[in-house]
Chain A
Amino acid sequence: MDGTETVLTGREAIAVRHLGKHFGGAGSVVTALSDIDFTIHEGEFVVVVGPSGCGKSTLLRILAGLLPQSEGEALLHGTPITGPRRDIGVVFQSPVLFPWRSVLGNAMLPVDVQRLGREKLRTRAFDLLKLVGLDGFEHRYPWELSGGMQQRVALVRALIHDPALLLMDEPFGALDAMTREAMNVELQRIWMERRKTILFITHSIGEAVYLADRVLVMTPRPGRILDSLTIDLPRPRGLDVMNTEGFGAYVRRIRVALNATGGLD
């Protein structure tokens, strides 16, 4: 971690090669992922979309170093991911905040775990909390916040140690539709400001098209990447982009691809 946030678009951030994952053993092997291949460039916002059970969460857990793959390899900046790494930030489906820590304390959790410079990063935590609209809430506790606010704290926590890669596993899936849209707008704004490499997972086609530079379409049993689709819509995208012809065309194309394989029930 060098602390800089320069944009180096074009360089490979993540390279996934022939990645496979099997669960179980001795007779009843379930293949969750099969022959996954893709590359994510630095600063790119890539969204993986697929129905539930297509193995997209498994893919994310492998990239986060929480789960070993069965075959193939995943590289982050050229080095294989063999376990949890400090240069990756993860946002889970639920905020996973510790109720005994304040908002600031939760945001600083990576700093405490990785024994980074507390003083400097405290200032950064205040900045990031302001960035997500939580200034003034630093000393509140998670139970005093709404679901959307809690997930924003989780986002700050994932960004605090300035990771090279942000992994997001359906982070807004538990929120109501309106909060979810607002969070998407905000995430796009934060991404445009910070230009992190993001791998975002969702089962919402609309969310995928709205957020992504590129959408990877996944199908289940076994989980495979069916299609890679570059979303060529100008940024910043307002919510009204969803009513445009171009947006609709992307959504239709993804839906058709998923339907063709029986991916959508």
Chain B
Amino acid sequence: MRARDFVLRLIFIAALLAVWEALVRVLDVPAYLLPTPSAIGRALVRGITSGLYEEHVGVTISETLLGFVVGTLGGLLLGTAVALSRRFDYFIYPIIVMFQAMPKVALAPLIIVWFGLGITSKVVNAGLVCFFPLMINTIVGLRSAEEDRVSLMRSLAASPLQIFWMLRVPNALPYIFAGLEIAMIFALIGAIVGEFVGAEAGLGMLIQSMNFSMDVAGQFSVLLILSVIGLVLNSLVAVVRRRALFWDPSSREGGGRTRLPAPRQQEAL
């Protein structure tokens, strides 16, 4: 049954590509508007075999991963501070929300000025973009511990620190992992936008330069690579999540990848 579904899916995709190819050829669409799938395939093979893509892929992935680490660490720390300290919540949180209301990609030109054309500016950009979803999910997660569970811990004479580590942190993990999955994709977006604005290397820069030379097939081939990178990075987080959150309903069902965990209660099964 599953094997048949898989084959059907492949056939469907192949059919779509065939229709695309046929339409472009029959309607004689110019290559600088929409290339045929076969032309995109040739561009992809050429880029890979010539070693052109290799360096740029490496740069973009490094920027994304470094930005992800920096941004999510920041989001975790600030989120924890906001969730735990009423004072922090009162003074810092409004500022962070105000900052979030501004589209971070609009900051990219400034960040290039401040941090240069190299990798640092892209890491900063990626970090900024993926910081917020993680901070919000950390706050919500840490605050979502059920009243009953807190009462139980208190009735055992648990210290606030014990309630934090033994209840609030594990309780927040489903939220944090949902945030991490979003943050990974956001970091890739941040890195690419940074490269658009100004860079010496990277897939975003490559798209820009191909755009200038009207190499549309080349651009499509890079887009293809980008979606594969996004998929792989996202699956990496998803795999870790399923391992760490074996007890969470969202992992047990096996389905839905980036679903935000709903406010849960422990009902009798």
Interface residues of A (CB under 8 A from B): 61, 64-66, 83-86, 88, 90, 92, 94-100, 109-110, 112-114, 141-147, 150, 174-175
State A243–B166 Cα separation when bound (angstroms): 47
State A173–B119 Cα separation when bound (angstroms): 61
Name the distance in Å between A126's Cβ and chain B's nearest Cβ.
Answer: 20
State A114–B155 Cα separation when bound (angstroms): 11
CB of B5 closer than 8 Å to a CB of A:
no
Name the distance in Å between A253's Cβ and chain B's nearest Cβ.
Answer: 33
Interface bin, chain B = 20 to 34
Which chain B residues (244-269) contact chain A, with CB distance < 8 Å?
A: 247-249, 252, 266-269
Q: Is the CB of A100 within 8 A of B247?
A: yes
Which of A112, A143, A146, A147 lies in contact with B247, CB distance below 8 A?
Answer: A143
Q: Is the CB of B268 within 8 A of A99?
A: no
Given known pairs A92-B151, A98-B170, the reply for A150 and B157 (CB within 8 Å) is no
State A142–B157 Cα separation when bound (angstroms): 23
State A110–B80 Cα separation when bound (angstroms): 25
Which chain B residues (118-177) contact chain A, with CB distance < 8 Å?
A: 146, 148-149, 151-158, 162, 166-167, 170, 173
Given known pairs A98-B149, A100-B247, A141-B247, the reply for A84 and B266 (CB within 8 Å) is no
- Mind listing 7 A-B residue pairs with CB under 8 Å? A61-B151, A66-B155, A94-B266, A99-B248, A100-B247, A109-B166, A147-B268
Which residue of chain B is the closest to A83 with respect to CB atoms?
Answer: B157
Q: Is the CB of B266 within 8 A of A100?
A: no
Which residue of chain B is the closest to A145 with respect to CB atoms?
Answer: B269
List, in ascending order, chain A residues with CB within 8 A of B156's CB: 84, 86, 109-110, 113-114
Which residue of chain A is the closest to B264 with respect to CB atoms?
Answer: A99
Q: Is the CB of A94 within 8 A of B268?
A: yes
Which of B154, B158, B247, B268 lies in contact with A95, CB distance below 8 A?
Answer: B268
Which of B157, B170, B248 lies in contact with A113, CB distance below 8 A?
Answer: B157
State A52–B269 Cα separation when bound (angstroms): 25
Q: Is the CB of A90 within 8 A of B152?
A: yes
Given known pairs A66-B151, A99-B248, the reply for A113 and B266 (CB within 8 Å) is no
Q: Is the CB of A90 within 8 A of B155?
A: yes
State A110–B248 Cα separation when bound (angstroms): 23
Q: Is the CB of B268 within 8 A of A85?
A: no
State A112–B249 Cα separation when bound (angstroms): 25
**Top-9 shortest CB links A-B:** A147-B268, A84-B157, A99-B247, A90-B155, A113-B156, A113-B158, A100-B170, A100-B247, A96-B148
